[in-house]
Amino acid sequence: MQALGRLEDLPQDYRDELASRNLVPLWPNLRAVLPPHVPSRATRPIHWPYATLRPLLMRAGELTPMEKAERRVLVLANPGHGLENMKVSPAMYLGMQLLLPGEWAPAHRHTPNAVRMIVEGRGATTTVNGERCPMERGDLILTPTGQWHEHEHDGQDPVVWLDVLDLPLIYYAEASYAVEGERQAVKAGRGDQAYARGGIVPTPLFERGADAYPMLRYPWAQARAALLDLASSQPDLKAVQVTYVNPETGRDAQSNLGFHALMLRPGQTLRLPARSPAQVFHVVEGSVQARIVDQAFTLVEADTCCAPGYEAVTLVNASGAEPAFVFVADESPLHRKLGVYEVRR
């Protein structure tokens, strides 16, 4: 490839004049923004063991009352992007949130899309646009853009969940803001009950369902059962994986980020081909070795790690006797919308 002229090759007076007119020569920067074949990526493979994160989160519970936090979260920040930028990848924000018994995280709505994956504890609920969703381990709960949400906890033990937002993307678009609200009135009915069975949806005989997001809670019991049934009915299927979709449209559950649950059979080694989107892996059950670029992480229950795009990832179930279950978040809906989604074999 032809080497291009450098900035230093240009006379200083010309460079100064360009800068003073808010002009920049393209050719010294062209290779950096269009590298050959593979994009440059700031996303590094990082592992956040829950065993080290949890005590620090509990300490935040002692140090910072709810009134001083609004959302008590430790952000899982990728150092490759700069810790202060609070990104795990170009489009994904990841945080571990703690709610203590009796606490309430007040209602607000914002432009970024959020989901939570419940990690531990019972008795908390998230109310999303008036729908009160119980939070049980492994459940996925959506808070789509613009929808009111608040969290409360009437149980006995701390509740912890993993938040995944498209905040870096929306912030980059200069479209990120929030509005504070009052405590929501809870309405009857829940999407996870109305849409509890795959392929069977309510018939809108008298009222058309106008809700863009008819299902807000995806119970772990359903995802787990779907994976076990898929694995036993298709013994040759290598990637035992399901995708969280909107049950009315069959499309991704949210606009920009994709959410999946994956099962590794006992002893299975699964090589995921290199694909353009960055990914996050969170172990719901079991123990998994993740090989990503030059790293090999051993993840146990509630551990989280991430992988840059355009890299193959190998997942190994550390147990020869029990299946392992992994929650996956990725940037695939965004890449498809942008027209840059790729699989490289």
Which spans of this chain sit near ligand 1HN (rule: CB under 6 A)? 71, 73, 95, 97, 110, 114, 149, 163, 165, 167
- Region label for 317, one of left (φ > 0), alpha (ψ between -120 and 50) or beta (otherwise): beta
Q: How near is the Cβ of 245 to ligand 1HN at its closest, in Å?
A: 23
Output 165 or 324, the one with its CB closest to ligand 1HN. Answer: 165
Q: How far is the CB of 36 from ligand 1HN (least distance, A)?
A: 36
In angstroms, what is the minimal distance from the CB of 95 to ligand 1HN?
Answer: 5
Strand order in the sheet with 73-75: 73-75, 93-99, 159-165, 114-120, 140-143, 217-218
Shortest Cβ 264–ligand 1HN spacing (Å): 29
Please, which residue, 100 or 242, has the CB nearer to ligand 1HN?
100
Nearer to ligand 1HN, 73 or 306 (CB): 73
User: Please, which residue, 149 or 275, has the CB nearer to ligand 1HN?
Assistant: 149
> Which CB atom, from 76 or from 334, has the smaller least distance to ligand 1HN?
76
CB 267 within 8 A of CB 151: no
Q: Indicate the DSSP class of residue 59.
A: H
* 17 CB burial (10 A radius; 0-12, 13-18, 19+): exposed
Nearer to ligand 1HN, 14 or 104 (CB): 104
Name the minimum Å distance from CB 123 to ligand 1HN. 17
DSSP 310: T
Beta carbon nearer to ligand 1HN, 149 or 224: 149
CB of 303 to ligand 1HN, least distance (A): 20
Angle of CA points 146, 276, 42, to nearest 5°: 80
165/290 with CB nearer ligand 1HN: 165
By the 8 A CB rule, do 285 and 325 touch? yes
Shortest gap between Cβ of 96 and ligand 1HN (angstroms)? 10
- Reference 158, options 63, 70, 54, 285; nearest CA is 54
Question: Which residues is 105 bridged to in the sheet?
Answer: 151
Taking the complex as a whole, how short is the minimal distance between the CB of residue 161 and ligand 1HN, in angstroms? 8
Most distant CA atoms of the chain, gap in Å? 74
Output phi, psi for 136, to 5 deg: -120, 155
The answer to whether residues 124 and 100 touch, using CB atoms and an 8 Å cutoff, is no
State the DSSP code for 245. Answer: B
Nearer to ligand 1HN, 128 or 278 (CB): 128
Q: How far is the CB of 148 from ligand 1HN (least distance, A)?
A: 10
Query: Are 312 and 272 contacting, i.e. CB atoms less than 8 angstroms apart?
Result: yes
Buried b / exposed e across 210-248, counting CB within 10 Å, b at 16+? eeebbbbbbbbebbbeebeeebeeeeeeeebbbebbbbb
